[in-house]
Amino acid sequence: MAEPNEVNTARSFTTYQVTPPSKFSFQSSEWTRWIRRFERFRIATELDKKEEAKQVNALIYTMGDEADDIITSFGLSEQEMKSYKTVRDKFENHFIAKRNVIFERAKFNVRIQDENEPVESFITDLHCLANNCEFGVLKDQLIKNHIVVGLRNKKLSEKLQLDPELTLAKDIAIS
């Protein structure tokens, strides 16, 4: 018997109903996460294959009431309002201020493992911070180095410092 959220199709495979993401909080810090979730929803439901005006309306509707006020403030033409990419980019520019790379790198550089913070949380946070730093090809090396110097366990930090073959994967596994 099929689960309540499963639908058996004529092709004898199971598909799952995909619910849209919850309404957007309209907090700038949440935009990147929310729009990534909406893009997954768009692809999973094949909304991305529908006409762009429908995609735009789905985006605005899913975001919530405040989105109508914001989109009106953009002053888009009727043609621009039918372009999903244009509308999405306008929201992107609205919610994401130009990053101050120096500030983002400073946050990364001063981050140390907090007392009672699990190593996994510390490493995850370093990855998130590094995403805003424009480190390029050095990103993994800088994260690896920062794990080593930012650990509260100084004996483990010293052990890692003495390993000339240390990689990010090995660093994470040992930590």
pLDDT (tens digit, 9 = 90+) per residue, 109-156? 999 999 999 989 999 999 999 988 989 999 999 998 988 888 888 888
> Do 80 and 133 reside in the same domain of the chain?
no
> Do 124 and 91 reside in the same domain of the chain?
no
In a domain, 6, yes or no: no
- CB proximity list for 63: less than 8 A, separation 6 or greater: 23, 24, 91
Angstrom distance (rounded) from CA 124 to CA 147: 10
The per-residue pLDDT for 10 is 43
In a domain, 8, yes or no: no
Q: Can you tell me which residue has the tokens 């730093």?
A: 133
> Do 168 and 105 reside in the same domain of the chain?
yes
> Do 88 and 109 reside in the same domain of the chain?
no
**CA separation, residue 14 to residues 2, 49, 82 (Å):** 9, 21, 33
The parent domain of residue 123 ranges over: 101-172
Single-letter amino acid, residue 56 = V
In a domain, 57, yes or no: yes
Angstrom distance (rounded) from CA 126 to CA 122: 6
> Do 57 and 71 reside in the same domain of the chain?
yes
Query: The dihedral of CA 41, 49, 31, 113: what is its sign?
Result: positive
- CB proximity list for 89: less than 8 A, separation 6 or greater: none
Residue 20, pLDDT above cutoff 60: yes
Question: Residue 132: how many CA atoms within 13 Å on its side-chain side?
Answer: 20
pLDDT per residue as tens digits for the range 49-100: 999 999 999 999 999 999 999 999 999 999 999 999 999 999 998 988 777 8
SS3 21: coil
Percent of the chain with pLDDT over 70: 88
| Total number of domains in the chain | 2
In a domain, 9, yes or no: no
The per-residue pLDDT for 171 is 63
Question: Residue 49: how many CA atoms within 13 Å on its side-chain side?
Answer: 4
**What pTM does this model have?**
0.56
> Do 113 and 151 reside in the same domain of the chain?
yes
> Do 121 and 61 reside in the same domain of the chain?
no
Which of 98, 119, 134 is where one domain is finished?
A: 98
Residue 11, pLDDT above cutoff 50: no
pLDDT per residue as tens digits for the range 162-173: 877 777 676 677
